[in-house]
Amino acid sequence: KPRLSHREAMAGLEAEAIQDFIDGFGRVHLRGEDWSARSEHPIRRGDKVRVITMEDEGLVLAVTPTSTGNGKQ
């Protein structure tokens, strides 16, 4: 069985936004580390997000909200 790359292993993991995203960029906390992240969706501090992939530049995660119906505005 081929080993997953670090990038592939990150996909699907859940993280928490540690700041509001501004212009699609912010920071998330994942497995004890803080990461730069981007999203096409509005993300607020405390929101749970799911990792889609790690960007080609590395160290930037593409994320999406785990739920769009959480009632937050």
Interval 36-70: pLDDT, tens: 999 999 999 999 999 999 886 768 999 999 975 54
**Contact of 50 with 12, CB cutoff 8 Å:** yes
3-state secondary structure of 30: strand
Residue 29 has pLDDT above 50, yes or no: yes
What span, in angstroms and rounded, lies between the C-alpha atoms of 28 and 9?
Answer: 17
**Is pTM, for the whole model, over 0.85?**
no
What span, in angstroms and rounded, lies between the C-alpha atoms of 2 and 57?
Answer: 23
**Does residue 49 or residue 8 have the better pLDDT?**
49
